[in-house]
Structure 1
Amino acid sequence: MPNANTSAIEFLQTRRSRPAKTLGLPVPTRDALLPLLEMAARTPDHGKLEPWRFVVLERAALQRLAAAVTSHGDTAGIHPDKITKMHNQFAMGHLAVMVVESPKPSAKIPAREQTYSAGAVCLALLNAALASGWGANWLSGWASHDPQFCANHLGLAPHERVAGFIHIGTETNTPPERPRPDLTAITTWIEA
């Protein structure tokens, strides 16, 4: 039997994202956030391309984005309910890290694997925050998929995409456990 890290196993067996709307102050300082980013950057990265980057969105930036979502959404014809939901995600936030998928040209590493790596960074950052005692949630939303919004308001280059917004703060209430997948329905064993 391998020498198990029982603390890590217990964390992974019980980890639970916290709804972003329930995250309050305080949020990690820059000094507290840097180790979380370091942990996230240890994610699988075939070819060592680092096909992702971090953009830390502090309160004023989130407020600016909330206003931009409203004006851009109206102009783009986005349904009002979707505009409100996206607006609130930014307006209610105190700190979020935008993980940007920034693929690199590579003859060896397919773009799809670089996308997977960016997604893995999101989960690694989420878990690093949760394991460090913060509340955290991984969100996206229509604005993160809108190329014009991403270019004009998030500063993304044409080849970049938002992999996720990881909201981090102090948990104000513990959410109830939610149903988990039925492993027998989603697992296939191949013996030969």
Structure 2
Amino acid sequence: MTQIAPLSPRPEVMDFLTTRRSRPAKTLTGPAPDRAALTPMLTTALRVPDHGKLEPWRLVVLEGAALTRLADLAARLGAEQGRDPDKLIKAEAMFRDAPVMVAVVAAPVTSDKIPEVEQTLSAGALCMTLVQVAMAAGWGANWLSGWMAYDRDFLTEGLSLAPTEWVAGYVVIGTEGPVPTDRPRPDADAKIAWQDR
């Protein structure tokens, strides 16, 4: 039987997590990681909490012509649905300008033991883990969503998702541009409560 070694402090990992900052997707450019570089990142990201081992998610890597097709679809469907034109420009650019994008598909599994909310949280954990793994590998990354993550017409026509599936996040990965200044962070004292009884 394989034994897992006990955990030791990893100050370099704590430093990475303490200082990590998502890179705005619009600042990410090519080159993007190729399949040889992306595959180990995706494999590592799949090591997320998954109560019941249901694997209620899957990944769809979007590159090249697929991104152009989705940009055109966002523009067309958004116009047909009467969405705000300024927001449509951003929605189209989200796909058209991405060096590579990974759609984290939430694929809930029917279970008497594991509620769907836990499966949704696992899909969210996969999004965040993928962002962190990509950054740890030296790439810039950003987790995006928007109406294209939930709109049934977009999901069906654009990604061929099943009726029960949706996108927990579109993770854009690419070469970093200028490193942005850090944004204000939550006040830990205001967000942390301690209970000892």
Normalised by the length of structure 1, the TM-score is: 0.97
**1:155 pairs with one of 136, 140, 160:** 160
5 Å-filtered alignment, 1:88-167, equals 88-167=93-172
Partners of 1:143 and 1:81 in 2: CA distance: 15
Distance 1:103 1:124 in 2: 19
Matched, 1:8 2:28: no
Which stretch has the larger CA shift, 157-166 or 73-82? 73-82
Q: Show the 5 A alignment for 1:29-108.
A: 29-108=34-113
* Aligned-residue RMSD, C-alpha: 0.9
Q: Secondary structure of 1:171's match?
A: coil
* Kept in 2: contact 1:59–1:93 (CA 8 A): no
CA distance in structure 2 between the partners assigned to 1:77 and 1:143 by the alignment: 14
Unaligned runs of at least 5 residues, structure 2: 1-6
Asked whether 1:22 is paired with 2:31, we answer: no
1: CA distance, partners of 2:54 / 2:158? 26
SS of residue in 2 equivalent to 1:163: strand
Moved over 2 A (4+): none
**8 Å CA contact 1:45, 1:114 repeated in 2:** yes
Distance in 2 (CA, whole Å) between partners of 1:3 and 1:95 is 35
Shift in Å at residue 59 of structure 1?
2.2
What amino acid is the match of 1:107? D
Unaligned runs of 5+ in 1: none
Q: Distance in 1 between matches of 2:96 and 2:144?
A: 14
- Between the aligned partners of 1:55 and 1:128, the Cα distance in structure 2 is 17
CA distance in structure 1 between the partners assigned to 2:49 and 2:97 by the alignment = 32
* Secondary structure of the structure 2 residue equivalent to 1:24: coil
CA distance in 2 between counterparts of 1:124 and 1:73 reads: 30
1:12-55 CA-to-partner distances (Å, cap 9, x unmatched) read 00111001111111111101101111111000000111000000
Distance in 1 of aligned mates of 2:54 and 2:92: 33
Amino acid at match of 2:142: N
Deviation string for 1:150-170 (max 9, x for gaps)? Answer: 111121110001000000000
Per-residue CA deviation, residues 51-77 of structure 1 (Å, 9 max, x unaligned), is 000000002111111111111111111
